[in-house]
């Protein structure tokens, strides 16, 4: 039985991915800041602040999926919060690497989350591929450092994969659960100009992509984890209202209001470029929810 160690496995993506892996016969362990009990999953503790990691977690792992990281959207992006966003990703990768190296552990792959923020919070009609350079803004730098921190695994001969993930759509949390109440009341609207692109992915497709990254040993390097259909914020918002059978009449929320409410973080909502899913499709990966209509219908019916 193959063993998969997931960091941040208690989160939105990790909890669904864990369930899917268990159903496919994998052994699953989590690395967490707290060891609150879970029935089917053994949880090991770590703390990057004190460089502590339970060595047994690494001893037992065939694969590591690194999802842990301070939320990008929970708190305003103060200097301190920005540092925590970066360090919780980079220093945790360093800690994993040090322990893997110390144990001379022959991992089969190190697979990590990254974000489409790599391409920058910009509005552009160009379609970003994995060949693009990172964009020199806060999220671009976070993603760059996050991905670079995994390079030492590669140097040890361990296959590494980074999934540059778009907005994850799930009925259990994340962006959709924040949007649903206002749309259910029939007062949902687009944001800013509404022309900015929303790169999105259904949570089931994303989890299948992680499983493919485990099972397909030809996968290596960065892959965009976004659905093939490109949608503007206006189209996304209208489709959401339609899926709920609600009217869509409210004027767009002005960008200036979001800037006041959220500060610099508002760029995540107000900007967005187009991102290609071609490279992952070339591996033979097939999306269950390639269009926003199919994804929303599935999630809203759940
Ligand atoms: N959801 C999205 O739309 C989306 C889009 C693009 C990229 N991503 C990336 O994918 C990864 C997983 O996303 P998710 O939505 O599942 O995130 P999530 O629900 O916020 O879960 C992340 C997990 O990371 C751990 N964590 C949180 N803050 C931490 C800190 N300061 N230091 C160390 N660990 C910390 C927590 O696990 P413990 O409490 O068990 O330690 C938490 O459950 C994240 O890195 C995220 O940035 C997500």
Whole-number Å distance between alpha carbons of 287 and 281? 8
pLDDT single digits (tens) 16-75: 999 999 999 999 999 999 987 666 799 999 999 999 999 999 999 999 999 999 999 999
**Percent of the chain surpassing pLDDT 70:** 99
Gyration radius from the chain CA atoms: 19
**Residue keyed to tokens 């790169």:** 199
Ligand 1 centre to CA of 237 (Å) is 25
Q: Which of helix, strand or coil describes residue 60?
A: helix
Indicate whether residue 87 lines ligand 1 (CB < 6 A).
no
Quickly state the pLDDT bin for 302 (edges 50, 70, 90).
Answer: low
Q: What is the DSSP letter of 132?
A: S
pLDDT at 13: 98
Looking at CATH, the fold of the domain delimited by 3-233+262-301 is given as Rossmann fold (3.40.50)
Decide the pairing of beta strands 27-32 and 42-47.
Answer: parallel
Ligand 1 pocket member 32 (CB < 6 A): yes
**pLDDT reported for residue 121:** 86
52-53 β-sheet, strand order: 52-53, 42-47, 27-32, 3-7, 63-66, 109-115, 160-165, 221-225
Non-local (6+) Cβ contacts of 90 within 8 A are: 145, 146, 149
Render pLDDT for 242-275 as a digit per residue (tens, 0 to 9): 999 999 999 999 999 989 989 999 999 999 989 9
- Determine whether the shortest distance from the Cβ of 168 to ligand 1 is under 6 A: yes
Q: For the chain, which residues make up each domain, given as ranges?
A: 3-233+262-301
Q: 171-180 pLDDT, tens per residue?
A: 999 999 999 9
Asked if pLDDT for residue 149 goes beyond 70, the answer is yes
Provide φ and ψ at 69, rounded to 5°: 175, 145
Percent of the chain having pLDDT more than 90?
93
The verdict on pTM exceeding 0.85 is yes
Residue 122: pLDDT band (50, 70, 90) is confident
Cα angle, residue 229 at apex, residues 145 and 242 outer, rounded to 5°: 115
Q: How far, in Å, is the centroid of ligand 1 from the Cα of 8?
A: 6
Please give the Cα distance from 97 to 61 (Å, whole number).
13
For the CA of 14, the nearest atom of ligand 1: 16
Query: Per residue in 44-60, is it b (16+ CB within 10 Å) or e — as a string?
Result: bebebeeeebbeebbeb
């Amino acid at each position: 039985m193959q063993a998969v160690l997931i960091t941040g496995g208690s989160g939105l993506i990790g909890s669904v991915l864990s369930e899917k892996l268990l159903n496919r016969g994998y052994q699953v362990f989590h690395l967490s800041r707290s060891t609150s009990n879970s029935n089917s999953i053994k949880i090991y503790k770590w703390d990057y602040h004190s460089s502590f990691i339970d060595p047994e977690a690494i001893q037992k792992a065939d694969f590591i999926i690194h999802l842990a990281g301070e939320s990008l959207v929970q708190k305003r992006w103060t200097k301190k919060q920005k540092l925590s966003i970066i360090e919780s990703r980079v220093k945790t990768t360093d800690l994993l690497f040090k322990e893997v190296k110390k144990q001379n552990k022959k991992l089969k792959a190190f697979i990590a989350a990254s974000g489409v923020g790599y391409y920058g919070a910009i509005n552009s009609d160009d379609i970003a591929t994995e060949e693009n350079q990172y964009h020199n803004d806060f999220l671009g730098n976070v993603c760059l450092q996050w991905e670079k921190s995994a390079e030492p695994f590669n140097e040890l001969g361990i296959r590494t994969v980074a999934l540059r993930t778009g907005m994850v759509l799930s009925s259990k949390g994340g962006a959709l659960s924040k949007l649903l109440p206002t749309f259910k009341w029939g007062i949902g609207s687009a944001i800013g100009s509404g022309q900015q692109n929303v790169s999105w992915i259904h949570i089931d497709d994303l989890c299948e992509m992680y499983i493919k990254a485990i099972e397909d040993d030809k996968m290596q390097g960065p892959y965009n984890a976004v659905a093939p259909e490109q949608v503007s914020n206006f189209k996304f918002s209208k489709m959401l209202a339609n899926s709920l059978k609600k009217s869509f009449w409210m004027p767009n929320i002005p960008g200036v209001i979001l800037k006041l409410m959220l500060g610099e973080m508002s760029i995540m909502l107000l900007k967005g470029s187009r991102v290609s899913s071609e490279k992952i499709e070339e591996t033979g990966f097939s999306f269950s929810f390639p269009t926003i209509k199919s994804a929303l219908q599935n999630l809203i019916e759940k």
